Structure 1
Amino acid sequence: MEKYEKLEKVGEGTYGKVYKAKEKATGQVVALKKTRLEMDEEGIPPTALREVSLLQLLSQSIYIVCLLSVEHIDKVPKAAAPSSPPKPLLYLVFEYLDTDLKKFITSHCKGPNPRPLPPSLIQSFLFQLCIGVAHCHSHGVLHRDIKPQNLLLDQQKEILKIADLGLGRAFTVPLKSYTNEIVTL
């Protein structure tokens, strides 16, 4: 990961941490999603594999976050004994977007100068979300975790993008039985 300079941590979820970073060669700002590969697991976690494969399938839509690359490294812990095995890490490199919908709404509706979102902006975001979900469904993908934190925004262009497909599933017709315990509090 020497080709990226981490600028700041922007989020943390169940499956990893997300950093804002800059690619040293081009200066492009990206988002790095770090997933630790636990030593007791064999191989890459299914959520990471699923997210990568679904993002590759859905990559042609501007309403789905763009996966730029996948990086696998073996990090040797600094304070570890010389014989300690390296800790494998998987980084998903995404386009960087300013904020998510939850932070955007909170910044507008709370604080010293609360103001409602313009109805035209709400309509635009809902329309973009519907197009993104329709794109997922037309490619046989159920997201299963759509919430404001997983809807990223480019504030300059007012574009909404669906992110975090770690719980997503490909489906076929007829529909088979899937886990019914996918819940976000």
Structure 2
Amino acid sequence: MENKETVGLGSSAKQAFEKLEKVGEGSYGKVYRARERATGRIVALKKTKLPQDKEGVPPTTLREISLLRMLSRDSHIVKLMDVKQGLNREGKTILYLVFEYMDMDLYKFIRNFRKTGKNIPPITVKNLLYQLCKGVAFCHGHGVLHRYNDSRKLIGLAWCVHVLESFRKSSLQYLCYV
């Protein structure tokens, strides 16, 4: 699958996307389902606030973007397609991470099966576990540790990960995605 960059790389997030609905929120920001205006493609926009007391983009944010671009090479991990800049109502700078949109996660998938009263077919379980293991193997092969404390973080493998910092092996850097 080809990872095409979002059209209008130089344009702001507000010009490039129409927010459709908020789909998640966490300590790292809010996530919206949005439509790319130029193509009509549905994406996930992760809105990340930048600290206003510092100039430029914090090193942790740059590390996150770099890591996500690297992880996007694997077909079992959700793709970071682009990074956009925008301003909030107060005029403060916000970064939007543009991901491919996943309309299903493991929690919803299991819940839908439970509603039918049927068990998930063994071949489906096997397929899901295979995909999970492939994504985990890619992460581990590139020095990325992870934690799945919530099944909503899985499928398309949009998950919460820890990144082992190369300079301080004893501390972990957190990257979370809804």
Pairwise same-fold verdict (TM > 0.5): yes
Secondary structure at 2:78 match in 1:
coil
CA RMSD of aligned residues (A): 2.8
Residue identity matched to 1:52: I
| Letter in structure 1 aligned against 2:127 | S
Unaligned runs of 5+ in 1: 78-85, 153-160
CA drift at 1:114: 2.6
Deviations 1:108-165 (A, max 9, x none): 214xx3322111111111111111111111122212456412213xxxxxxxx22245
> Counterparts of 1:10 and 1:125 in 2: how far apart (Å)?
23
State how far apart, in whole Å, the 2-side matches of 1:177 and 1:101 are. 31
Secondary structure of 1:99's partner? coil
List runs of 5+ in structure 2 lacking aligned partners.
1-13
Q: Is the 8 A contact 2:163 2:173 kept in 1?
A: no
CA distance 1:47–1:147, shift in 2 (3 Å)? farther
Match of residue 35, structure 2, among 6, 11, 22: 22
138, 163, 177: which is aligned to 1:168?
163
TM alignment of 1:120-139, pairs within 5 A: 120-139=123-142
Which deviates more from structure 2 when the two are superposed, residues 134-143 or residues 17-26? 134-143
Identity %: 49
- Considering fraction of residues, name the structure with more helix: 2
Structure of larger gyration radius: 1
Of 106, 113, 126, the residue aligned with 2:111 is 106
Contact 1:6–1:19 (8 Å) recurs in 2: yes
Q: Name the CA distance, whole Å, in 1 between partners of 2:126 and 2:145.
A: 23
What is the distance in 2 between the residues matched to 1:4 and 1:13?
21
Q: Which residue of 2 aligns with 1:177?
A: 170
Equivalent pair of 1:140/1:171 in contact (CA under 8 Å): no
Of residues 143, 146, 165 in structure 2, which corresponds to 1:140?
Answer: 143
Q: Give the paired residue count.
A: 162
**One-letter code of the match for 1:118?**
P
